[in-house]
Amino acid sequence: MSGAAATGAAPPEGGLPVADGRETAVEVWRLSRGHRLRLVAVGALGIASTGVDLIPPAAIGFLVDRVQAGTADPGTVLTITAVMALSAVLGAAGTALTILLATRVYHTILAALRERLVGRALTLPQHLVERAGTGDLISRSSDDVTAVADAAPAVIPVLTVTAFTIVVSLGGLAALEWPYAAAFAVVLPVYALAMRWYLRTGPRVYRAERAAMSARAQQILESQRGYATVLGFGLAQQRHRAVMTDSWGVAVQALRARTVQSMLNARLNLGECLSLASVLVVGFVLIDHGASTVGGVTTAMLLVLRLLGPVSQLLFVIDTLQSALASLSRMIGVVTLPESAGEPTATVEAGTAVRLRDVTFRYDGGPRVLDDITLDLPTGQHVAVVGASGAGKTTLAAVVAGIHPPDAGTVTRPDHVAVITQEVHVFAGTVRENLTLAASGATDRDLLAALDATGAARLLDLLPDALDTRVGTGGHPLTDAQAQQLALARVLLADPDLAILDEATAEAGSAHAEQLDRAVLAVLAGRTGIVIAHRLSQAAACDRIVVLEQGRIAETGTHAELVAAHGGYAALWSAWERGQAPSRANGS
């Protein structure tokens, strides 16, 4: 957020939004830009290929009439057979080409949507993702994308061929004898009622199924990410029950969806029975009155039989289509989530990098974690935030960084902010790729300089392929200290205006404390910095110290001033020194 005052907008209720039908249609239409001529070509080719498929029923009806009249001969049979074979080849080729073109357009549009989804997901405010649950976002970018992609083999042939078949076949029935088309049209309300019932029932069931999948994904993700905590506190059985409970929830919703599918199938079978019966009755009446021939009735019946399959497929594939549309709406709900609205700018004095005015914050309506925080950070100053566990240090860092918007008050920060927490992540890839994430244009010389500044130059000597060594999942393992040095080097390469280190070196333990303290000083040199201090040696090295107690600023000043004041910080420092004495004695 570039120098703007954050006033704290609440995220959508229930987390990440789901697009409605209109929003989904508008976004799909927008994504189809550049592909619309190909879509018109698909439609024209589909109508032509299904029109060719009308030839076999008409040819069989013609042959029946010739046989009944006694005028059929082997040449007639051969001619009709050749015509039917040729029409079958042309129809199949046209259908295959239609499906091929439609599939290419479909997957091109889906690829563009997937890229937009991932791009938007990476820029979502962290507070919004946390409130919705990380599993929801992961489900939308994995399960929902898969559902939409997997729907292609079932949906594309139906929507690109079957719809054309219905239109062309109805036209053929009307051209043959209009009562045949009327007889079939009388039965269409059965299909319409089936469609109406399904559209009122299916979407709700599929949304519930997708929501259950998101809940299961959240439970699995939390169990994996908190694996050490689960083992350490003996929570394996509890987490297992939680995952199993949500998995059974998915199973129940899936059974509901399959039940809806079976009920739709029963309604379609009823429609097929009534369609055949109505055309047969009309054909009998027409023949009885000399208005049609046996061949005409045969052609009509073949056209109806040819229609029944596509009509059932069109309605039945809606089962798959509705599931895909539910997933598509969830994807587009993220894609169309508006960027943070322009916020009122705050006046800030020259030379001030960060300003907080009357800031309060609470998590989901709970007690206040930050209470009436007012603070100014001059440009270039290094400020340490200390306090007991639960005092609000990490929350303050998150509010300053813009991760959490305040419930009240304003926050002004520089344009470019970098945050490192104690949960340092090593990405799967080479050391070079891990570093250039922060600066894509950095040269190897820049990377080596950043590693040297953070004390990690020796790390390359320990790696088999230096900068080209693969680290992270499946790669060369790094110690906690090495991972933190890598993260600190990334901050140097990113060159932010404000660096926030939230206990960024806590995980490495005391064995590498001095080395990491020097790395932190190198990272903070020449820029504004906020350090959530795990070790008070880091706080003592900062220009200024802020002491938090129960979400309020209790003390602020330099290390010397606070020690001389004999307040809360002085007590913390005294306890820290006593704790370090045995370590120094053992090391001497």
Residues 330-384 have pLDDT tens digits of 888 888 877 654 344 444 556 678 888 888 998 877 788 888 888 888 888 899 9
Q: What is the pLDDT of residue 2?
A: 37
Question: What pLDDT is stored for residue 505 in this prediction?
Answer: 62
Closest CA to 330 of 234, 196, 432, 211: 211
Q: What percent of the chain has pLDDT over 90?
A: 2
Contact of 530 with 500, CB cutoff 8 Å: yes
**Helix, coil or strand: residue 532:** strand
Count CA atoms closer than 13 A to 442's CA, side-chain side.
26
Question: Rounded to whole angstroms, how far apart are CA atoms 487 and 333?
Answer: 33
The pLDDT score that the predictor gives to residue 506 is 57
- CB-hemisphere CA count at 13 Å for 13? 0
d(CA 314, CA 264): 12
The pLDDT tens digits for 196-250 are: 888 788 778 877 887 888 888 888 888 877 777 777 778 788 888 888 988 898 8
Query: Taking 60 as the threshold, does the pLDDT of residue 509 lie above it?
Result: no
202 near 318, Cβ under 8 Å?
Answer: yes
Q: Which domains, and CATH codes, for the chain? A: 21-335 (1.20.1560.10), 352-587 (3.40.50.300)
Long-range contacts (CB closer than 8 Å, 24 or more residues apart) made by 113-121: 113/27, 113/31, 113/331, 113/332, 113/335, 114/141, 114/145, 114/331, 116/335, 117/141, 117/145, 117/331, 117/334, 117/335, 120/334, 120/335, 120/337, 121/334
For 429-471, what is each residue's pLDDT tens digit?
888 888 888 787 888 888 888 888 887 777 777 777 788 888 8
Of residues 73, 553, 580, 566, the one with CA closest to residue 356: 553
Q: Which of 426, 424, 454, 584 is nearest to 510 (CA)?
A: 584
